[in-house]
Structure 1
Amino acid sequence: MKKELKPLICLILLAILLISCSSKGAGVEPTSTANPSAIASTKVKSTAPAADYITMTYSEYSTTDNNGAIKTQILSYDTATKEMKKVFAFDYTAQYPLGFYDKPNQLLYYTQRVNTDKDYGDQIFIRDLSSNKSNQLTNNLYAVNYIIPSGDQLFFVANVKGEQGIRLGAIDLNTHEMTLWGDNDMLVETITLDHINKKIYASAYSVKQRNYSLAHQDGPVGQNNFKMPTFTVYETDFALKEKTKLFSKNYWIRMLMNKDDHVIAFCDKEYNKGQVPSTVVDYDNAKKTSSLSKWGTLRLQRGDANYSNDGNKIYTIAVVNNKRGLFEYDVKSNKFTAIFTPEAGFINNIQVVKGSNN
C-alpha cells in the first residue's frame, strides 16, 4: 500500500510530477455543486480550535487478508493532550482517499469514488457528526489531492473531468457554489492556507512546459535528462480572485508551509531524490524578499507538513529510523519525536490545524 506520490499525479503526469507565470487576474469560474441541500441546516462558522490538532487519513486492511477490503479512517491527534482518536471510517474507493476532521464544527470531509467503471470520479463528501449523515458536495471531479475547510468555505485541489490541468477550487458551504482558480494549462502541485489573513499560497506549473520537457530529454543514456519546468508560487485570496506571483524557480516546489506572514517552500532539483537535501525558500510577505537555505535534516514528505501555531514545532510525515509515520519536529533542537508510525497501514495525508490560544 505504500506510495509517496498521489495517484492523481501519476495518472495525469505520466510518471513525472507536477507553473506558469502571471500577475493579478486569475480566471474565476463559478459552477454548481452536486447537492444544493447537502448542508443547508449546518452552520459553519469557527475556523480555529483552542489548541493545535492534526487531522489524519489512515488506511489499512479491514481483515488479516491482504486481498480483502481496505478501510480508511479519519484520525485526530490533540497536540496538547497527546491523545489520538478515531473519528470516522469509510471504504477505500477513491484513487487516493483524503479526509479532514473539522473539530470545532464537528464536520468531516472525505473523498470517495462515484459512478461506473467507464464514467467515474473521486468526489468530495461532507458528514455531520451530530446527525451521522453524509452528503455529496461535488459531481464533476476526477481525482482530488487536497481538501481543507476554512470557515464557511471548503478549498480543494483536483482534476476536473474533461481537463488536463489540476485546479485550486473553493465551495461556498452556504450557497454550495463552486469556484475554480487557474486554467487548463495549470498544474497545482501543493497549497497552504493562511486562515487569519485569508490567503492561499499555491505552487503550480504549466502543462505545456511539462509536456515539452518530457518530449525533449536528449542526452547521455543512463542520465536523468529531464529539464524541470518552472514552478511558481502564487498568492490568492479566499475569493480566488487574485493571482499574484511571489517567486519562480526551476525546482520541484513540492511543499509549502506558512508562519508569521512567511511562506516556506521546500524544493528539489529532481523528482524523488530523497537522499539529497531539499532547498528551502523563505519568502517574507511584508518585505517581498526571499532567502535560500538547505534543509539539513531528515526529509519531510511532500505536501504534508506545517508549523504549530507558535512556530516552534513542525508536524510532518517523514521516515525516521526506517519507520514512516507522523512526527513532531522541534525547530530549535532539530529533534524528531514519533507520534504515529503504523506497521500495518498507511497514512494517506495529514493537515495541521492551528489553535487560537497557544
Structure 2
Amino acid sequence: MKKEAKLLFCLIWISMLLISCDSQDASVTITSTPGSSPQVEFTTAPYIADYITMTYSQYATTDDNGAIKTQILSYEPDTKEMKKVFEFDYTAQYPLGFYDKSNERVYYTQRVDTEKDYGDQIFVRDLAEGTSIQLTESLFAVNYMIPSGNQLFFVANVKGEQAIRLGAIDLNTNAMTLWGDEDMLVEAITLDLMNQKIYVSAYSLEQRNYSQTHQDGPAGQNNFKMPTYTVYETDYDLKEKTKLFSKNYWIRMLMNTDGHVYAFCDKEYNKGQDPSTVVDYDIAMKTTNETKWGTVRLQRGEANYSSDGNKIYAIAIVKNKRGLHEYNVQSNTFTALFTPEDGFINNIQVVRGNH
C-alpha cells in the first residue's frame, strides 16, 4: 500500500498498545441515539455458504496525493467468486468494513467531526435501499466489527477513556453495552456463533505502563517485560467474565473451531522472525496445549477456520506476496486467493455458513 495508508495503520496500532482487567460487573448499558437515526430492523437470515468479507483500500486515481477509496469485498471459497459490494471514502484512522450477506447490509467506519473533537463511528448501509445510518457517536477508534443475530459486536476506544473495550449494539433498539473496565485493553476477539460465546484477549494498561517504566538491563536493549495477557469467555449479553488462561505472551490473534480456542502468541511485539506459539484451549476439558506454528506467519488480521475446520483463511505473505490466503490444515499448504499488487487489505473476517 502507499506510505500514507501504512502510516495510518502504524498510528492506530500504536494507539492500541498505549490503551487497556478485572471487574465484578463486566457490563454497562448505554443508550445510543445519534441524531435522528432510525432503528435497524433485523430479519431472519437465509441459507448462506462460507465467505470472507474484506476491507480493501487503494488510491482512487493514479495520483499518489489523490483520495483513497475503501472497498468492502466478498469472496466465496466454494465458487471462487470475488465481488465488490460497497465503496466509501477513506476517512477513518484505519477503516473497517463487514459485509452481512444474509441481510444485504454493510457495516463500516468513518471519521465524524464535531465542534470539539472527532472520532471514528460505525455506520450501517442497506444495500437494497442505498441508505446509511450512523449507529454510534461516542467512539474514537474502532478495531473490530462482527454482526451476529440482532447484535453488532465491536472492539473500540470510547471517547474519554484510555481503555479499548468489547461492546455490543442492539440493532433493534440502538442500545450499547460495554464489557470490561477502564484498565482493560482488548487485543483480539473471536465469536463462537453456534454457542453464542465471545472469546477475548486482553491485558492491563496499568501493568503495561509499569513494565515500560521499570525495564531492567543495559540501556539500548529491549528489556521490556511482556504484561500478562488473559483470554476470557463471555456471552452475547456481555454479562459473563470467565478467565480461561493467562500467558506472558502477546496474544495477538484468536480463532475457534470444534470446541477449541486457538491463541496465536509472540514473545515480543511485531517480531515475526520467531515462530508464533499456538495455545490450544479445550473448552470442555478446560486444558491448554502449546505448540509452535511451524509454517508461514499469519498476520494479525482476524484469521479463522472454515465451517468444516479443514481450512484457515488469513492474511499472510507467501512468496513475497501479501494478501488473503487459504491454508489447508491437512496438507500444510497455502493457496493465494487475493494478492493485490496495488492497494492494501486492511482486514478480513471469516463468515461461516449457516449449514
TM-score for both structures, normalised by structure 1: 0.94
Contact conserved, 2:22 with 2:181, CA < 8 A, in 1?
no
Alpha-carbon distance in 2 for matches of 1:194, 1:4: 30
**CA offset digits 1:150-186 (Å, max 9, x no partner):** 0100000000000010000000000110000000000
Pair 1:282–1:12, CA change in 2 (3 A):
closer
Contact conserved, 1:19 with 1:230, CA < 8 A, in 2?
no
- Secondary structure at the counterpart of residue 342 of structure 2: coil
Alpha-carbon distance in 1 for matches of 2:224, 2:99: 39
**Which residue number in structure 1 is paired with residue 142 of structure 2?**
144
Contact conserved, 1:158 with 1:167, CA < 8 A, in 2?
yes
Deviation of 1:273 after TM superposition, in Å, equals: 1.1
In structure 1, what residue type is equivalent to 2:135? L
Deviation of 1:10 after TM superposition, in Å, equals: 1.1
**Which residue number in structure 1 is paired with residue 41 of structure 2?**
42
Deviation of 1:335 after TM superposition, in Å, equals: 0.5
2:289 aligned to 288, 291, 300, which one?
291
**Which residue number in structure 1 is paired with residue 245 of structure 2?**
247
2:87 aligned to 65, 86, 89, which one?
89
Contact conserved, 1:143 with 1:159, CA < 8 A, in 2?
yes
Contact conserved, 1:193 with 1:200, CA < 8 A, in 2?
yes
- Secondary structure at the counterpart of residue 299 of structure 2: strand
- Secondary structure at the counterpart of residue 136 of structure 2: coil
**Which residue number in structure 2 is paired with residue 185 of structure 1?**
183
**Which residue number in structure 1 is paired with residue 354 of structure 2?**
356
Alpha-carbon distance in 2 for matches of 1:240, 1:274: 33
Pair 1:71–1:117, CA change in 2 (3 A):
farther
Alpha-carbon distance in 2 for matches of 1:303, 1:274: 14
In structure 2, what residue type is equivalent to 1:283? Y
Deviation of 1:118 after TM superposition, in Å, equals: 5.1
**Which residue number in structure 2 is paired with residue 112 of structure 1?**
110
Contact conserved, 2:234 with 2:240, CA < 8 A, in 1?
yes
- Secondary structure at the counterpart of residue 221 of structure 1: coil
Alpha-carbon distance in 1 for matches of 2:15, 2:337: 32
**Which residue number in structure 1 is paired with residue 17 of structure 2?**
13
**Which residue number in structure 2 is paired with residue 32 of structure 1?**
31
- Secondary structure at the counterpart of residue 212 of structure 1: helix
User: Aligned runs of 1:1-358 on 2, under 5 Å?
Assistant: 1-2=5-6, 7-14=11-18, 20=21, 25-35=24-34, 38-40=37-39, 42-46=41-45, 49-116=47-114, 119-357=117-355
In structure 2, what residue type is equivalent to 1:113? R
- Secondary structure at the counterpart of residue 10 of structure 1: helix
Which residues of structure 1 form unaligned runs of 5+?
none
Alpha-carbon distance in 1 for matches of 2:170, 2:212: 37
Pair 1:177–1:81, CA change in 2 (3 A):
same
What RMSD in Å do the two structures reach over aligned CA positions?
1.8
Higher mean C-alpha displacement, 217-226 vs 276-285: 217-226
Identity of aligned residues (%): 70
Higher mean C-alpha displacement, 211-220 vs 82-91: 211-220
In structure 2, what residue type is equivalent to 1:20? C
Contact conserved, 2:20 with 2:182, CA < 8 A, in 1?
no
Alpha-carbon distance in 2 for matches of 1:350, 1:131: 25
Alpha-carbon distance in 1 for matches of 2:169, 2:16: 23
Deviation of 1:69 after TM superposition, in Å, equals: 0.3
Contact conserved, 2:301 with 2:314, CA < 8 A, in 1?
no
Aligned residues: 351
- Secondary structure at the counterpart of residue 209 of structure 2: helix
Deviation of 1:261 after TM superposition, in Å, equals: 1.3
In structure 2, what residue type is equivalent to 1:123? Q
Contact conserved, 1:20 with 1:230, CA < 8 A, in 2?
no
In structure 2, what residue type is equivalent to 1:102? D
Alpha-carbon distance in 1 for matches of 2:37, 2:157: 22
**CA offset digits 1:51-79 (Å, max 9, x no partner):** 10000000000000011100000000011
Pair 1:37–1:120, CA change in 2 (3 A):
closer
- Secondary structure at the counterpart of residue 304 of structure 1: coil
- Secondary structure at the counterpart of residue 303 of structure 2: strand
Higher mean C-alpha displacement, 215-224 vs 106-115: 215-224
Alpha-carbon distance in 2 for matches of 1:92, 1:104: 25
- Secondary structure at the counterpart of residue 108 of structure 1: strand
